[in-house]
Amino acid sequence: MLGVYFSGTGNTKYCVETFVRQFDPSAYIVSIEDPSVVDKIKSQDIIVFGYPVYFSNLPKIVHDFIVNNQKCFYGKKIYIIATMAFFSGDGTGCAARLFDSAHILGGLHLRMPDSISDSPILKTSYKANKKMINRAKEKIGIAVSRLKENNPHKDGLSIFNRVSGLLLQRLWFRNAVSSYKKKPVINTNKCTGCGLCSKLCPTKNIFVEEKAISHDRCTLCYRCVNNCPEKALTVLGEKVYGQYLFKNF
Ligand SMILES: Cc1cc2nc3c(=O)[nH]c(=O)nc-3n(C[C@H](O)[C@H](O)[C@H](O)COP(=O)(O)O)c2cc1C
The model's confidence at residue 73, banded by pLDDT at 50, 70 and 90, is very high
Q: pLDDT tens, 9-53?
A: 999 999 999 999 999 999 999 999 999 999 999 999 999 999 999
Residues 93 and 169 in one domain: yes
Residues 199 and 109 in one domain: no
Q: Is 16 part of a structural domain of the chain?
A: yes
Query: One-letter amino acid identity for 152?
Result: P
| Residue finishing a domain among 176, 203, 220 | 176
Residues 160 and 231 in one domain: no
Ligand 1 atom closest to Cα of residue 8: 27
Ligand 1 atom closest to Cα of residue 223: 27
Distance 116 CA to ligand 1 centre (A): 7
Distance 14 CA to ligand 1 centre (A): 14
Residues 54 and 155 in one domain: yes
Torsion of CA 48, 50, 55, 57, to 10 degrees: -50
pLDDT over threshold 90, residue 118:
yes
Residues 208 and 91 in one domain: no
- Which of 12, 18, 55 should be mutated for ligand 1, with most atoms under 8 A from CB? 55
The model's confidence at residue 7, banded by pLDDT at 50, 70 and 90, is very high
Ligand 1 neighbour 25 (Cβ under 6 A) = no
Q: Is 244 part of a structural domain of the chain?
A: no
User: Which CATH number belongs to the domain containing residue 191 in this structure?
Assistant: 3.30.70.20
Q: Is 64 part of a structural domain of the chain?
A: yes
pLDDT for residue 122? 82
Q: Across residues 156-183, what is the average pLDDT?
A: 96
Q: Is 33 part of a structural domain of the chain?
A: yes
pLDDT for residue 175? 92
Q: pLDDT tens, 188-209?
A: 999 999 999 999 999 999 999 9
Q: Is 91 part of a structural domain of the chain?
A: yes
Strands (E) in the chain, as ranges, are 2-5, 28-31, 46-52, 77-84, 103-111, 185-186, 206-208, 212-214, 233-234
Q: Is 110 part of a structural domain of the chain?
A: yes
Residues 118 and 216 in one domain: no
Say if residues 113 and 124 touch (Cβ distance below 8 Å).
Answer: yes
Q: Which domain holds residue 209?
A: 185-238
Q: Over pLDDT 90: what percentage of the chain?
A: 97
pLDDT for residue 174? 86
Q: Is 223 part of a structural domain of the chain?
A: yes
Q: Across residues 157-165, what is the average pLDDT?
A: 98
Classify 168 as helix, strand or coil: helix
- Looking at the 3D structure of the chain, how many domains does it have? 2
Ligand 1 neighbour 38 (Cβ under 6 A) = no
The model's confidence at residue 123, banded by pLDDT at 50, 70 and 90, is confident
Q: Is 96 part of a structural domain of the chain?
A: yes
User: Which CATH number belongs to the domain containing residue 79 in this structure?
Assistant: 3.40.50.360
